[in-house]
Amino acid sequence: MLHTPRPHDLLWGLRPEHLPQETPAWARAALGGHVPVVVRRAPAEPGWVAVGIRGAAREQRHATWMHVSDISRLVSPQAVARAGRWRSHAQPQWPALHALSQLAPRLDALGLAWGVTGSLGFELASGISAAHPDSDLDLSLRVPHQLPRDKARTLCVLVDDAPGRIDLQLETPYGAVALREWASEAPRVLLKTQNGPLLVSDPWQLQQVAA
């Protein structure tokens, strides 16, 4: 395994027999064909990782935990971006795919560690149909050091030039903050952490100042 599982990573290896008895039947069935689960942002005991199972319907999302020793494969959002499988997708006219084709070379040119998440990222990584014509384009940008807010505003302009609805999250060492929120003039922004959301003045500082 390349790294400790992080939010939005896709993990293979969770099987129906690993699930607790109270798990919904649809969630067990969803894992029948070597389907990956998605790492979610939640606490986990040592040796475990919090994950989510995707069902066929949008409302079918089940939270559970996976033992690290059961992970057989890990694909990060950044690996999905590097693979570039959207270039050969059967529906290039979908707004999310059109936007991705437009944004990818620009984000690459900036040297950013960006990745594809959400239903489109799941589909591109697994080959399992999950996206649809109205799917948003969900992107994740790993930013280990503080991104100046003026640069965040420049990124917003870049994103706004692309078609469709795009949600870009900045992944800091302590959680995720929406690009648009960090690009605003707000004195505090919402940081999604492993232990829940916090209002902070600086998402890159360990000392969080909650509301």
Known catalytic residues? 136, 138
Distance in angstroms (rounded) separating the CA atoms of residues 146 and 173 = 10
For residue 170, with 0-12 CB atoms within 10 Å meaning exposed, 13-18 middle and 19 or more buried, which class applies? buried
Distance in angstroms (rounded) separating the CA atoms of residues 17 and 112 = 39
Q: Which residues contact 94 (CB under 8 A, 6 or more apart)?
A: 131, 132, 133, 135, 164
- Contact by Cβ (8 Å): 35, 13: no
Report how far Cα 124 is from the mean position of its chain's Cα atoms.
13
By three-state DSSP, how is residue 190 classified? strand
